[in-house]
Structure 1
Amino acid sequence: MMTTARYAGLVIAPAIWAVNMQLGLVLPYADCGNKMSLTVLGCMVAILLAIGSALISRSGRASTSARTTLFLCDLSFLTGLIFAFALILQGVGSWLIDACQR
């Protein structure tokens, strides 16, 4: 468990960001046709999942671990937060721009 928790932010957050990038190319067409905002909703879910992966990697940190393990946990936590911030910026962009104008 500790090994998988250590890499959660390094693996899961970039994967969520990549999936959100692909959904950002497809969902605006559905948003315009249905007058719904699936892009923003998908981005909010992706933000929560990225923050969750960062928190999982933070919970894998123990004070009695080796320095390399502590470094990987901190790196994974910060990487998860960076990708969560990138998802926030993408969500704000899709929220501000109308889907039919893209």
Structure 2
Amino acid sequence: MIISPGVWAASTQLGQILPYRDCSSGAPWTAFLTLTAAAIATGAGLLSWQQKGYVISRPKRAMTYVAAFSGLSFALALFLQGAATLLLSPCQH
């Protein structure tokens, strides 16, 4: 429940800084970082999904569902941010 939003927040903040580095070096660091963050968020969501079998009480099981779907929704947002960084040039002002 904490990993996916944290990775998304860090990626969003670095997404404001790294395009300047991308433009000067020519390497797509922003896209690499964003797609790596999407993979981490997906992993966190899938890890939460696997925990549903080990939880006995209904409120805790509901929280595993919330954590899993939250992780996957943050992963989708990160994937879309990564796709945008691949489509748009960082050097255009």
Confirm or deny a common fold (TM above 0.5): yes
Task: Determine the structure 2 residue equivalent to 1:35.
Answer: 26
Shift, 1:26, TM fit: 0.5
Q: Equivalent residue of 1:100, what SS?
A: coil
Alignment of 1:1-102 (within 5 A): 10-62=1-53, 65-102=56-93
Deviations along 1:40-81, whole A, 9 cap, x unmatched? Answer: 000111011000100111121126611111100000000000
Q: Which runs of 4+ in 1 moved over 6 A?
A: none
TM score, norm. by length of structure 1: 0.87
Shift, 1:33, TM fit: 0.2
Determine the C-alpha separation between the residues in 2 that align with 1:63 and 1:13.
Answer: 21
Letter in 1 for 2:53: A
Determine the C-alpha separation between the residues in 1 that align with 2:69 and 2:90.
Answer: 32
Letter in 2 for 1:50: A
TM score, norm. by length of structure 2: 0.95
Determine the C-alpha separation between the residues in 2 that align with 1:63 and 1:42.
Answer: 33
Identity of aligned residues (%): 33
